[in-house]
């Protein structure tokens, strides 16, 4: 690699040049980087300048240090992760003091599991293998809070599991599936794995843009996947008026595609509960996760929809996991119906809302105006995505690059910030770093 023509010989400029070489393949996974001393001599800068560049690259996960053996380009990500999801995966914790890349809830704001665990039987239940897969009391509790009338509710192992199982039933090879852009990266991977084609639709501050959906429906899709509240990554929540207008467009489409709604943030969302099922009965499957509200490792989500489809989904699960642990279902039931747990979730919602407001206000004070998002994420436009990620890594802050959230062929520079993890007392410091990162470029 020839660095002699590099104009920007600051740590940021050197790191950016190496980053481009890695992404282009000029530097292959596992390849050893030149020594700090050799690069310093080639560029006419101090070894400390090059060391700072190497440190920034390590913080982004592009390179790894092997001590005296040198610094190497990181190996290809594990095959269990798709390229999109690998692009979201946080690098090593070396030098990172604030990780805002993961899109996960603050553990301190999750309800305590201790009381619920103490109330669960000390022994695992032993029902027959073909018994009802959902605890009846939990189903009744779920139905009482469902956002629209639904025929049947079951329980699955998280929101993505629910969305995947529905699409596997209603999407065939070669079908088209409408997905939001930006949107949740695993949904793009899922559509590709099914041999289907993703048709992207755009959002504004009220949800999916009707004109964008109208164009997408002209392709006769088999399904439409939406995030009605606290959209990941933008934080947009669909208004009831927009939901009604989208349902109206879908109702006029023949055949009407299935609508799959991923309500992943549930009770920590400050927006009104909304589902297109209120205006489009019989064609909407609503999936509600309890990961961000009650704990990601519970791996429990509820799924409601038409009887025929839900029955088919339950029957297919009987050939695999059969049911979601009834112990976990009982824990969730306790958390959903105990006043202490309900108060803890309500307090989490207030805390996340306050954190979002504080960070957005701090950004505005530093000259960058963005809308206040719902949920725990903030979608930040930047001049150069990779440069912003590197700049923040150098400051000890890790964020997710925006590219994995965009549909193939879509352009734009963004980063996703898990702003729900920023306490108000740190808002000004984080805002200053984000504003500075948003303005840097790789040249």
pLDDT digits (tens, 9 = 90+) for 32-74: 988 889 989 888 899 988 888 887 787 777 888 777 778 888 8
Co-location of 370 and 310 in the same domain: no
Position 294 in a domain: yes
Average pLDDT, the chain: 91
Chain segment 159-168, per-residue pLDDT in tens: 999 999 999 9
Position 6 in a domain: no
Better-predicted residue by pLDDT, 17 or 204: 204
Question: What pTM was estimated for this model as a whole?
Answer: 0.84
The number of folded domains in the chain is 3
Co-location of 287 and 327 in the same domain: yes
Chain segment 68-105, per-residue pLDDT in tens: 778 888 876 656 777 778 777 555 566 788 999 999 99
Using the CB atoms, write b or e for 298-328: b if 16+ within 10 Å. bbbbbbbbbeebbeebbeebeeeeebbbbeb
Co-location of 282 and 247 in the same domain: yes
Co-location of 92 and 126 in the same domain: no
Q: What is the CATH number of the domain that holds 200?
A: 3.40.640.10
Residue 347, token pair as written in the block: 């307090």
Among the candidates 73, 94, 122, a domain finishes at: 73
Co-location of 16 and 132 in the same domain: no
Better-predicted residue by pLDDT, 150 or 87: 150
pLDDT recorded at residue 1: 67
Among the candidates 339, 372, 404, a domain finishes at: 339
Please check whether residue 260 is in contact with residue 302, taking contact to mean a CB–CB distance below 8 angstroms.
no
Question: What's the CA gap between 391 and 57, in Å, rounded?
Answer: 10
pLDDT recorded at residue 76: 67
pLDDT recorded at residue 79: 65
Chain segment 239-263, per-residue pLDDT in tens: 999 999 999 999 999 999 999 999 9
Chain segment 357-387, per-residue pLDDT in tens: 999 999 999 999 999 999 999 999 999 998 9
Using the CB atoms, write b or e for 175-190: b if 16+ within 10 Å. bbbbbbbbbbbbbbbb
Among the candidates 26, 47, 73, a domain finishes at: 73
The answer on pLDDT for 270 being more than 50 is yes
Co-location of 90 and 38 in the same domain: no
Beta strand extents in 239-296 (DSSP E only): 258-263, 284-289
The answer on pLDDT for 234 being more than 80 is yes
Position 3 in a domain: no
Co-location of 94 and 236 in the same domain: no
Q: Please name the residues in contact with 251: beta carbons below 8 A apart, sequence gap of 6 or more.
A: 279, 280
Nearest one of 37, 36, 44 to 15, comparing CA atoms: 36
Chain segment 300-341, per-residue pLDDT in tens: 999 999 999 999 999 999 999 989 999 999 999 999 999 999
The answer on pLDDT for 443 being more than 50 is no
pLDDT recorded at residue 70: 84
Residue 354, Cβ neighbours under 10 Å: how many?
A: 13
Q: Which of 81-95, 176-190, 402-416 has the lowest mean pLDDT?
A: 81-95
Position 1 in a domain: no
pLDDT recorded at residue 93: 61
Position 5 in a domain: no
């Amino acid at each position: 690699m020839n660095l002699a023509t590099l104009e920007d010989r600051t740590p940021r400029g050197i790191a950016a040049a190496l980053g481009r070489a890695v992404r282009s393949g000029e530097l292959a996974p596992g390849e050893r980087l030149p020594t700090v001393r050799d690069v310093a001599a080639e560029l006419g800068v101090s070894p400390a300048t090059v060391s700072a560049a190497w440190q920034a690259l390590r913080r982004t996960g592009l390179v790894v240090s092997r001590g005296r053996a040198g610094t190497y380009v990181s190996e290809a990500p594990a095959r269990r992760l798709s390229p999109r999801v690998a692009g979201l995966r946080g690098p090593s914790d070396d030098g990172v003091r604030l990780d805002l890349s993961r899109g996960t809830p603050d553990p301190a704001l999750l309800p305590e599991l201790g009381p619920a665990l103490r109330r669960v039987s000390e022994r695992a239940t032993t029902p027959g293998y073909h018994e009802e897969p959902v605890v009846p009391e939990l189903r009744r509790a779920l139905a009482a809070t469902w956002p629209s009338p639904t025929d049947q509710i079951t329980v699955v192992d998280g929101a993505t599991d629910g969305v995947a199982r529905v699409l596997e039933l209603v999407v065939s090879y070669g079908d088209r599936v409408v997905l939001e852009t930006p949107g949740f990266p695993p949904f793009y991977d899922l559509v590709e794995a099914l041999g289907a084609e993703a048709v992207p639709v755009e959002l504004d501050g009220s949800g999916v843009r009707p004109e964008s959906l109208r164009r997408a429906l002209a392709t006769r899709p088999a399904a439409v996947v939406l995030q009605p509240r606290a959209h990941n990554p933008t934080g947009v929540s669909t208004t009831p008026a927009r939901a009604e207008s989208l349902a109206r467009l879908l109702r006029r489409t023949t055949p009407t595609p299935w609508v799959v709604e991923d309500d992943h943030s549930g009770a920590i969302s400050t927006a009104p509960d909304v589902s297109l099922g209120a205006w489009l009965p019989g064609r909407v499957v609503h999936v509600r996760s309890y990961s961000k509200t009650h704990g990601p490792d519970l791996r429990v989500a509820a799924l409601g929809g038409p009887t025929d489809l839900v029955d088919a989904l339950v029957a297919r699960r009987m050939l695999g996991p059969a049911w979601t642990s009834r112990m976990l279902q009982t824990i969730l039931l306790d958390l959903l119906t105990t006043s202490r747990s309900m108060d803890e979730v309500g307090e989490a919602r207030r805390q996340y809302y306050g954190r979002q407001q504080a960070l957005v206000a701090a950004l505005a004070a530093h000259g960058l105006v963005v809308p206040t998002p719902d949920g725990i994420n903030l979608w930040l436009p930047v001049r150069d995505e990779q440069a912003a990620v590197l700049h923040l890594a150098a400051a000890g802050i890790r964020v997710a690059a925006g590219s994995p959230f965009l549909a193939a062929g879509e352009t734009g520079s963004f980063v996703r910030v898990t702003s729900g993890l920023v306490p108000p007392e740190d808002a000004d410091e984080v805002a200053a770093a984000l504003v500075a990162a948003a303005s840097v470029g790789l040249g």
